[in-house]
């Protein structure tokens, strides 16, 4: 593919293992994020599962004994849902997110993303999945200290070998999207915690993933900043058409979520679908 003929492929238009780029022959629209209304999940989309978790267990051998972090989790998430994953510390939230995102493998059971069995993918397939289909957001932001905000957002674009000519524009659009257009040249230590997390969110969205996985994204923020971040995630799920699974104790996200799943000792204790927000 030549640089000049590529543009971003919205998640809904990608093939299962496809790159986030489409050639001009495939799609002649100018490069842009799609209009919100177009990407917003429709009622039928929500009925299409994008994540299917079946009978997942994860044991961690600890010397003579075994920690059963997940003890048989079944969960189906529809396209465009914002799901809050709550549960006490140690209940298995991080383990579940890592298995869904291909950062860890289950002891037993199967994870399917868009019909692709993640748990059977070879390492190279997992790298592709994490690079193109999934955006991760962590409690500790995980920005690279010596890079500017813009350079941090650009990292996944470089890893995905996005065409150079497209990177600057994509970075600009993403920083605008999270309200940090004016902070592009700041390094993480020159930004507040909330701003750093917004950069991290822009970075997570860089390759236009289908799925956002966030592990306690407001855990290090004060409650007012946490509210801003959660509202941003809520807005992005709508405008960017992503599906989000967010581990959190934060009552604000829990009130904004479409659905609240509670883990307890490695099993799902409750799963509540909310009405339209
Ligand atoms: P949560 O994110 O809900 O706090 P985790 O998924 O981190 O829960 O952990 C679930 C359980 O698995 C806990 O008992 C934890 O101690 C254990 N655990 C998590 N990661 C490891 C590991 N790498 N080695 C051993 N035990 C682990
Ligand atoms: Mg955790």
211-231 confidence digits (pLDDT tens): 999 999 999 999 999 999 999
Q: H-type helices in the chain, by residue range?
A: 36-39, 43-47, 93-100, 123-132, 149-159, 164-177, 193-204, 223-240, 251-256
Ligand 1 atom closest to 58 (CA): 12
**Best probe residue, ligand 1, of 57, 60, 89 (max atoms within 8 Å of C-beta):** 60
Total domains present in the chain:
1
Ligand 1: which atom is nearest the Cα of residue 96?
6
Give pLDDT tens digits for 226-265: 999 999 999 999 998 999 999 998 888 889 999 999 999 9
Residue whose tokens read 């989790």: 73
Percentage of the chain modeled with pLDDT above 90: 70
CB of 264 closer than 6 angstroms to any ligand 1 atom = no
Q: Which domain holds residue 62?
A: 3-273
pLDDT at 184: 96
Nearest Cα residue to 205 out of 237, 227, 252 = 237
Domain holding 13: CATH number?
Answer: 3.40.50.300
Strands 134-138 and 82-86: unpaired
Ligand 1 close to Cβ of residue 60 (< 6 A): yes
Mean pLDDT of 144-169: 94
Helix axis angle, 193-204 to 149-159, nearest 10°? 20
Query: 184-214 pLDDT, tens per residue?
Result: 999 999 999 999 999 999 999 999 999 999 9
**Phi and psi, residue 176, nearest 5°:** -60, -45
Average pLDDT over residues 118-142: 91
pLDDT score recorded for residue 119: 81
């Amino acid at each position: 593919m030549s640089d000049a003929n590529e543009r971003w492929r919205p998640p809904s238009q990608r093939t299962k293992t496809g790159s986030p780029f489409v050639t001009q022959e495939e799609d002649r629209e100018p490069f842009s994020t799609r209009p919100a209304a177009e990407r917003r999940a429709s009622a039928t989309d929500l009925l299409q599962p994008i994540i299917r978790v079946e009978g997942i267990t994860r044991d961690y051998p600890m010397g003579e004994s075994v920690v059963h972090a997940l003890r048989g989790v079944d969960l189906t998430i529809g396209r465009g849902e914002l799901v809050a994953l709550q549960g006490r510390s140690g209940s298995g939230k991080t383990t579940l997110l890592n298995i869904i995102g291909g950062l860890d493998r289950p002891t037993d059971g199967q994870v399917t993303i868009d019909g692709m069995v993640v748990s059977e993918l070879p390492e190279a397939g997992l790298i592709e999945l994490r690079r193109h289909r999934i955006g991760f957001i962590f409690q500790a932001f995980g920005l690279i200290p010596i890079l500017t905000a813009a350079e941090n957002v650009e990292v996944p674009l470089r890893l995905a070998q996005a065409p150079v000519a497209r990177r600057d524009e994509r970075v600009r659009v993403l920083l605008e999207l999270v309200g940090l257009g004016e902070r592009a040249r700041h390094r993480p230590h020159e930004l507040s915690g909330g701003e750093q997390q917004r950069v991290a969110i822009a970075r997570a969205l860089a390759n236009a993933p289908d799925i956002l996985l966030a592990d306690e994204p407001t855990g290090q923020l004060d409650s007012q900043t946490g509210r801003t971040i959660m509202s941003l995630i809520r807005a992005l799920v709508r405008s960017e058409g992503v599906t989000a699974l967010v581990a959190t104790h934060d009552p604000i996200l829990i009130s904004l979520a479409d659905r609240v799943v509670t883990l307890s000792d490695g099993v799902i204790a409750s799963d509540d679908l909310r009405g339209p927000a």
